Amino acid sequence: MKSQESETRFAICINDGGYVDDLKVRTVYEVLPDESAARSNHIRVVDETGEDYLYPAHLFVPIEEPCGGESSLQS
């Protein structure tokens, strides 16, 4: 089950989809929550330009962050 929480999420690009200047295969990108985009099978990604754009979701594989993203090394 996937949630639309405000936590930072990431995805790895598996296909540049012809966006060769904006996406690099095997690169991890930040994904911003966008419910409207998700309904049309797109995701909002901060790409190589540093701006966020919509891309087809099938170009990416979500990365699950282990341990809720918190470091286990705390003083």
Q: Considering the entire predicted model, what is its pTM?
A: 0.75
In a domain, 24, yes or no: yes
Q: Mean pLDDT over residues 21-36, rounded?
A: 96
In a domain, 72, yes or no: no
Distance CA 34, CA 44 (A): 6
Q: Token pair for residue 18?
A: 């012809």
Predicted local distance difference test score (pLDDT) of residue 4: 47
Q: What is the CATH number of the domain that holds 50?
A: 2.30.30
pLDDT of residue 1 exceeding 50, the answer is no
**Number of domains forming the structure of the chain:** 1
Question: Rounded to an integer, what is the distance from CA 47 to the centroid of its chain?
Answer: 9
The rounded radius of gyration (Å) of the Cα atoms in the chain is 13
Residues 6+ apart with CB under 8 A from 22: 16, 47, 48, 49, 53
- Residue 17 and residue 31 in contact, taking contact as beta carbons nearer than 8 Å: no
Predicted local distance difference test score (pLDDT) of residue 69: 54
